[in-house]
Amino acid sequence: MGKNPGGMRMVTFSVTFSNVLLMLLYLVPGFLLNKAKKVHTLHLSSMSVILLYVCGPGMFLNALIDPAADPSLPGKMGLFILFSLVGEIVLMLIISLVLGKRKKEFAWRMMSIASVMGNVGFFGMPVVRALFPDAPEAAVYSCMFNISLNIVAWTIGVYTLTGNKKYISLKAALVNPSVIAAAVGFALYLANGKTWLPELLQNGFKTLGAMSTPLCMLILGIRLASMQPRKLFTTPVVWAACAGKLIVFPLFCWALTLPFPLDPVFRASILMLAGTPCASILFNLSEIHHNGQEMAANCALLSTLCSIITIPLLSLLT
């Protein structure tokens, strides 16, 4: 009996929707704890440090150690970085051309950054894992997308945000917890670490990785409770950023892959990871340069809420 494409798409939609819904439900405890005055937004910096320096590296190490040895995988990893980099850079250039004189305004410059910088790790990895439970390379692609994200964020992203080349930092792009963890994980993969690393250590990476998404969403929930709903839902530039990030960017990256003979998991992974909500690094850059913090937080929150609709719809293309 042949496969039923319609039935397969419904299964894909259902799996994606349920996983995105679960991630959004993690917002609720953070939201309620803030409203009950049990936690405060002042706590977010400490929570973010734990997420960035402990849980995130554990997630990336677990993802890179997990796949069985495959001679073709390192090449695919490099290709994934290339495709994601090209997608980010080219779309930002296109947006800049379309904006014309409006790109002189800070809000529209941030929109161009927000449209390509996504939460490919803490949000994207659980989605592709759920879609491809028998393809551990999908989680590896999430790590590769994160590398390209950091490169773009600390170079073109910083320059676009500030208009000053002196803030560009190649060191920050390449020497940060996520990229270092990815490099160590890649070395362990090449050394076939899955076969000789102590099981206790591997389980530790897995446990820390499993904490990443709930902690990330708890932080967003706390932030959401402190926002003014009117500003969150009524700012046109924020909606433009969400449309760019959740619809335009994933379709653009997916279209880039169509002329090439790539396997379905590769193509679907770049589509789904590109369609993740705006990344927290956007807010971090705004904090560092003391400009646009509220807009960055609004982009992250609104795109996260809207993703419950857009990501399942994108999954129908896989």
pLDDT band at 74 (very low <50, low <70, confident <90, very high): very high
The better pLDDT of the pair 106, 75 is held by 75
Q: What is the CATH code for 5-315?
A: 1.20.1530.20
Q: If you average pLDDT over residues 22-47, what whole number do you get? A: 92
pTM of the model: 0.94
pLDDT over 60 at 1, yes or no: no
- Identify the pLDDT of residue 287: 67
Q: Please report, for the chain, the start and end positions of each structural domain, with discontinuous segments joined by +.
A: 5-315
* CA dist., res. 27 & res. 24, Å (int): 5
